[in-house]
Amino acid sequence: MALSREQIAQRVAQELQDGFYVNLGIGIPTLVANFIPKDIEVMLQSENGLLGMGAFPTEDEVDADLINAGKQTVTMAAGASIFDSAESFAMIRGGHVDLTVLGAFEVDVNGNIASYMIPGKLIKGMGGAMDLVAGADNIIVTMTHASKHGESKLLSNCTLPLTGKGCIKKVLTDLAFIEIKAGKFHLLERAPGVSVAEIIELTQGELVIEGDIPEMKFS
């Protein structure tokens, strides 16, 4: 079975480490916050100028001056700090954020990512995504493995305008956990019940399979 959005978030959360500063993109990445293991401390960075993002507010706590990068009302966790946009992107560009999780339309074997524009259809802008992929060393891309029409999103070459070049090393899809190195995809794990053959079928770029590929584990 392909993973649900929640299961993708849950698997990403297993990559979090105690003391990590983490930036979560909009969509599935945002859900990762719901699965942070109870025994570790993680601080969430929101690029509009908040480090230490808390839960959504109750109706009484709503504050128009306190939002996240998705423009949703939020709260601040204990130990939070507020800063301006230049400071926020100094953190991001300076490589101070330990893990960035973001969505994409396409990723290719050279670690290129396309996530912000579909010419003629979707031209909303890159927001902070280009800064995040250029600035972070440790990035996990979350997306579905293929489109609704069965077209692979893991390609030998991205076809859409790029968000970043040669910057992606890990991709978690609804079918597989994949590492990118030396110009190839490497299959690390498969979703429970999904066969290696199904993953090969839906991966257009070169995919290396070494030994037995374990299933993802969810506790």
Partner 1 sequence: MSGFDKVVHSYEEAMAGLTDNMTIIAGGFGLCGIPENLISEIKHKGTRGLTLVSNNCGVDDFGLGLLLPDRQISKIIASYVGENAEFERQMMSGELSVELTPQGTLAEKMRAGGAGIPAFYTATGVGTPVAEGKDERQFNGRDYILEEAIVGDFAIVKAWKADRYGNLVFRKTARNFNPMAATAGKITVVEVEEIVEPGQLDPDEIHTPGIYVNRLIQSSFEKRIEQRTTRAAGE
Q: Distance between CA atoms of 99 and 118, rounded to whole angstroms?
A: 26
Instruction: Indicate which residue of 47, 59, 179, 210 is catalytic.
Output: 47
Q: Which residue's CB is nearer to partner 1, number 90 or number 208?
A: 90
With vertex at residue 47, the alpha carbon angle to CA 154 and CA 61, rounded to the nearest 5 degrees, is: 120
29 is a site residue for partner 1 (CB under 8 A): no
48 is a site residue for partner 1 (CB under 8 A): yes
Which of 10, 45, 100, 163 forms a contact with partner 1 (CB under 8 A)?
163
**Residue reference for tokens 């939002």:** 67
Site string for partner 1, 121-150 (x = CB under 8 A): --xxxxxxxxx--xx---------------
Q: Which pair of tokens denotes residue 55?
A: 């839960």
Identify the CA nearest to 100 among candidates 160, 21, 173. 21
CB of 201 to partner 1, least distance (A): 30
DSSP 152-181: BSEESS--SPPSBSS---EEEESSEEEEEE
Q: Which residue's CB is nearer to partner 1, number 110 or number 203?
A: 110
CB contact at 8 A, 136 and 95: yes
Task: Based on the residue annotation, tell me whether 47 is a catalytic residue of this protein.
Answer: yes
Q: Which pair of tokens denotes residue 89?
A: 């992107």
Total site size for partner 1, rule CB under 8 A = 52
Identify the CA nearest to 68 among candidates 30, 96, 28, 103. 30
Which of 71, 148, 149, 217 forms a contact with partner 1 (CB under 8 A)?
71
Which of 50, 146, 172, 207 forms a contact with partner 1 (CB under 8 A)?
50
Q: Find the radius of gyration of the CA atoms of the chain.
A: 17
Which of 23, 45, 100, 112 forms a contact with partner 1 (CB under 8 A)?
112
Q: What is the DSSP letter of 59?
A: G
> Distance of alpha carbon 185 from its chain centroid, rounded?
17
25 is a site residue for partner 1 (CB under 8 A): no
49 is a site residue for partner 1 (CB under 8 A): yes
Binding positions for partner 1, 78-107, rule CB under 8 A? 82-86, 88-89, 92-93
Residue 34 has phi, psi (to 5 degrees) of -80, -10
Which residues lie near partner 1 (CB under 8 A)?
A: 46-50, 55-60, 62-68, 70-74, 76, 82-86, 88-89, 92-93, 112, 117, 123-131, 134-135, 161-166
Q: Which residues are catalytic?
A: 47
